[in-house]
Chains A and B, each alone.
Chain A
Amino acid sequence: MSDSLLAALRDVVSSDAVLADAGDSTPRVAPETDVEWSGVLQLALARGITCRVEGNGTRAGWAPDARPAELVLSTARTRGVVAYEPGDGTLTARAGTAMAELAEVGAGGGHHVTPDVAHPTRSTLGGVLASGCSGFDRLRYGPARHNLLGMRVVLADGSVASAGGRLVKNVTGYDLHRLWAGSFGRLCVVLEASLRLYPLPDARACARLAYPTRADALAAARRVGNEPIRPTALVVHGGELFVFLVGRTEVVEWELERVRDTADGEAVERLDAGAERDARERLRDFLPSGAPSLELATRPSRFAAALDGVERAAHACDVPTETVAHPAIATATVRLGPATEDAYTRFRDSLSNFDERVTWRDVPGAPSASLEGATSDAAALMRELEAALDPTGVLGAGGARV
């Protein structure tokens, strides 16, 4: 099948866009234009080939293949900034563009590009949006989907469709881009997306507060979170609380004072610019791509107890953990250290009836990106959406969530 497939692919894309071996004997194709993308999907549809969409693979393990992919569709050649409108505060780029490149372009015009995701040089815009992940800066700027203005995608039958637009305010038509974001390449391939930008801050600062225990740090985070300040991130790592502040210089200084006021006698260390950047990048990137982890999401009032529950369960099963917690938005990334397969299994089983939402990532055998927690009617609706947009399952390999 492979030889004839490769030949057929070379008829619709340029020869160098087809790779016979993606390292796992699965052919890979990297279309560039809309016409090429459309042609490849139509070919896959005609031949009944199951495809997986891939950016740079940094979050590939978040939603492992539901069925084996016969063809990998790469956005590697679908790159570049399409439009940056500094006067309007918007940016449109193609899916394979690295987030770091977007940040650089935005910074050149005085804008901050959100989401500020982990591993920005390797993370692509399309991959970030398809995986539904948000940035380290979520507390201030919101989840990535809230700053997504519109998308252009290619569907499983090769048709190209758009939703939303490039404007900061727009309610014309259905917000299909909200459906496509977080669909892990199951409903479409993202070709292009437009983002709302924010002013690049005049100043940055980070306050580090050290406490004897994580519980103390979490309690301090609650106090800081109740202050009238707008951090980009409130992060607890062990017994340390980091408060990342951005904005106008005088506002950042004022906010630092408020943080000091809440410290309850504890020393507050202000990190200098270099240390601030190091701390931000270290905490943002603490989870290596492909490392087993789980993501906890709950409500702020239940957060500390939920996190304790997860870690108690891990330790009871001899699974080592390291946690970076964002208590103000009640999420935590728990990195799982080396353990036996049996230990991982027992740990997963022990959380199977956990009251809070837990998402497994890159954990062998775990139901990544599953619908646990969705009602049966909601899950049925999601399956119908898949069937409507991809009736034959052309994109059925890639990260099926349903």
Chain B
Amino acid sequence: MKRLASKLREVVGARGVIDDPTLLLPYESDGLAMMQVDAELVVLPRTTDEAARCFRILHADKVPIVARGAGTGLAGGATPVEGGVVVSTARMRDVLEVDFEDRFARVQAGVVNVDLSHACGQGGLMYAPDPSSQMACTIGGNVANNSGGPHCFKYGATTRHILGLVLVTHDGRVIDLSEPVVDPVGYDLVGLFVGSEGTFGLATEVTVRLVPTPPVVEVLLAIFPDLDGACDSVTDIIAARLEPSALEILDRLTIEAVEKSVFAAGYPREAEAVLLIEVEGVECEVASTTREIRAILEGHATLEIRTARDARERRQLWAGRKGAFGAMGRVAPDLYVADAVVPRTKLRELVRKTVEICAERDLLLANVFHAGDGNLHPNICYDRRDADEVKRVLEAGHLILETCVAAGGSLTGEHGVGLEKRAEMELLFTPSDLDTMCRVRDVWDPERRMNPDKLVPLHACGELRTMPPREDAR
């Protein structure tokens, strides 16, 4: 590694390489702290060219590469691999271009999500995907994970907002897919790359679509005596084909944690659940949508329905939601954030099931989730120093995923598969599905050095298998 570090320093300078064991500590995991691997070397290129030159050096020595944005991922996608090098985009922070007329921006991969919105806000535009970690997470990381956020209910996940990419492949080739016109030339490589969790290459520049900021925004807080009522309200709002921009549920434990924290939003502590609803659009649209949503809420025995009076109150209510994960630090030293998706017709049933699964294992569960998208986040509070508790957490996490998949759901709505859910991929996909993924992965990275061991179960990328459908298949 010393020789490698020296070669890499020639490209990125002395400050662009970290090999001091103390300074490497923050890189031993991402947000999934229970899965840690010592990082041996971190390199921080500043440009696409530097990244490509670094990749060529690593290619020559057949060194595995793990790309890392801000390390806010929650599935172990940025966990280092033994004998590998972490390539961080932390020094790629320039907003390269904002085109207000054609409504796009071109940024380096390390630009922080919220900084992009600030950069385009003055022109009445915004970048819509807003993960809860948006104060820290990077656009490149969002691309890798196809990240979501509360407002993806209306605007869709990251993939809908990416117009182009500049990529560096495992061997240091630069592929420019950045022309911001409406459809891809040839196959949709950009659409394929988004969500590939660093296994296809490193995105160094990203061209994103910007959307106009809404003229009117209203935020409602519906307060419930039980979690069922909040879930059923969301199911009914979806079934009524209403179109708010966000529908978020927080349960009692989350509310308590938030209210004790710096993110205190004024959520009532006596509530068993609150439903945060944002409606946006033009004035008459917001008024009529809000009216119909209120009628649905009132049919579900809400304790109270509050409307934020001004922008300050709206910000406060959202601060509570977006700070919820951080606030959970008051409850336990560690937080396991599960991330499953379920059909929106089955919210109540599956949220109940997560509560049961955790109660049976004597685990403390807080639910805070993107209810409008059916994207559950059962947050299990634990202490990683307690081996038995860690075991129960992982068991509960697996059971929750199994239950959701059995009900027609999926393994991840926005955090990705990473290290955490590799094994569960076989719950959702057939060997043929996984084999096809491996074939495509091998095109991008035939040596499997890009974020190895992530996303696809290891044995799935073995010999090519052809699985003819069963005779009883339709």
Contacts and interface: CB of A to CB of B under 8 A. Distances in A.
Interface stretch (A213-221, A264-272, A373-381): A373-381
Nearest to B194: A175
Contacts of B116: none
Contacts of B192: 174-176, 178-179
B444 A173 contact: no
A250 B186 contact: no
B241 A89 contact: yes
A170 B421 CA distance: 14
Interface in B167-196: 173-177, 179-189, 191-192, 194-196
A247 B284 CA distance: 12
B317 interface: no
B225 interface: no
A87 B345 contact: yes
B182 A330 contact: yes
B387 to A, nearest CB: 29
Given A163-B433, A182-B184, A372-B185, A170 B194 contact: no
A247 B289 CA distance: 11
Interface in A152-166: 155, 157-163, 165-166
A316 interface: no
B432 A173 contact: no
B355 interface: no
Nearest to A80: B474
Contacts of A159: 432, 435-436, 465-468
B152 interface: yes
Contact of A87 (B159, B186, B187, B235): B235
A221 B235 CA distance: 38
Contacts of A371: 185-186
Interface in A93-114: 110-111
A377 B373 contact: no
A149 B145 CA distance: 16
A375 B467 contact: no
B344 A88 contact: yes
B265 to A, nearest CB: 24
A289 interface: no
Nearest to B424: A172
Contacts, number: 253
B261 interface: no
A260 interface: no
A402 B187 CA distance: 9
**Number of contact residues on A: which range applies?**
35 or more
A248 B286 CA distance: 11
Given A169-B370, A254-B282, A381-B443, A176 B173 contact: no
Q: Which residue, B187, B414, B432, has most C-beta atoms of chain A within 10 A?
A: B187
A88 B417 contact: no
A347 to B, nearest CB: 21
Contact of A169 (B157, B215, B417, B444): B157
A329 B152 CA distance: 22
A321 interface: no
A1 interface: no
Given A167-B341, A172-B410, A228-B215, A382 B436 contact: no
Interface in A55-90: 85-89
Contact of A183 (B176, B187, B408): B187
Majority SS at the chain B contact face: loop
Nearest to A146: B160
Interface string B258-280: 00000000000000000000000
Interface stretch (A117-125, A298-306, A333-341): A298-306
A142 interface: yes
A144 to B, nearest CB: 10
Interface in B445-474: 455-456, 465-471, 473-474
A34 B469 CA distance: 6
A143 interface: yes
A168 interface: yes
A251 interface: yes
B442 interface: yes
Q: Which residue, A110, A155, A159, A199, has most C-beta atoms of chain B within 10 A?
A: A159
Interface in A26-44: 33-35, 38-39, 42
B122 interface: no
Interface string A333-376: 00000000000000000000000010000000000000111110
A162 B195 contact: no
B430 interface: yes
Contacts of B177: 375, 378
Interface stretch (A204-212, A273-281, A383-391): A383-391
B115 to A, nearest CB: 23
Nearest to A152: B433
A35 B375 CA distance: 34
B195 A175 contact: yes
A173 B455 contact: yes
B380 to A, nearest CB: 20
Contacts of A134: 183
Given A34-B469, A178-B192, A298-B181, A172 B411 contact: yes
B345 A85 contact: yes
A52 interface: no
A389 B439 contact: yes
A284 interface: no
A237 to B, nearest CB: 19
A127 B442 CA distance: 28
A179 B101 contact: no
A331 interface: yes
Q: Which residue, B173, B174, B185, B441, has most C-beta atoms of chain A within 10 A?
A: B185
A161 to B, nearest CB: 4
B449 to A, nearest CB: 17
B196 A174 contact: yes
B285 A251 contact: yes
Contacts of B437: 163, 173-174, 176
A179 B473 contact: no
Contact of B239 (A86, A163, A255, A381): A86
A331 B182 contact: yes
A348 B239 CA distance: 51
B191 A178 contact: yes
Given A169-B148, A248-B285, A248-B288, A34 B474 contact: yes
A200 B282 CA distance: 19
Nearest to A39: B468
Contacts of B239: 86-87
Interface in A116-145: 132, 134, 142-143, 145
A175 B191 contact: yes
A329 B163 CA distance: 13
Nearest to A249: B288
A297 interface: yes
Nearest to A177: B191
B156 to A, nearest CB: 6
Contacts of B180: 299
A378 B188 contact: no
B146 interface: yes
A39 B436 CA distance: 18
B333 interface: no
A325 interface: no
B357 interface: no
Nearest to B427: A172
B436 A389 contact: yes
Contacts of A146: 156, 159-160
Nearest to A132: B183
A171 interface: yes
8 contacts: A86-B239, A132-B188, A159-B435, A165-B428, A171-B146, A178-B192, A182-B187, A330-B181
Given A251-B282, A255-B282, A329-B182, 14 more contacts: A34-B469, A35-B468, A35-B471, A87-B235, A87-B238, A110-B241, A146-B159, A169-B152, A172-B417, A174-B196, A250-B285, A254-B284, A377-B173, A381-B189
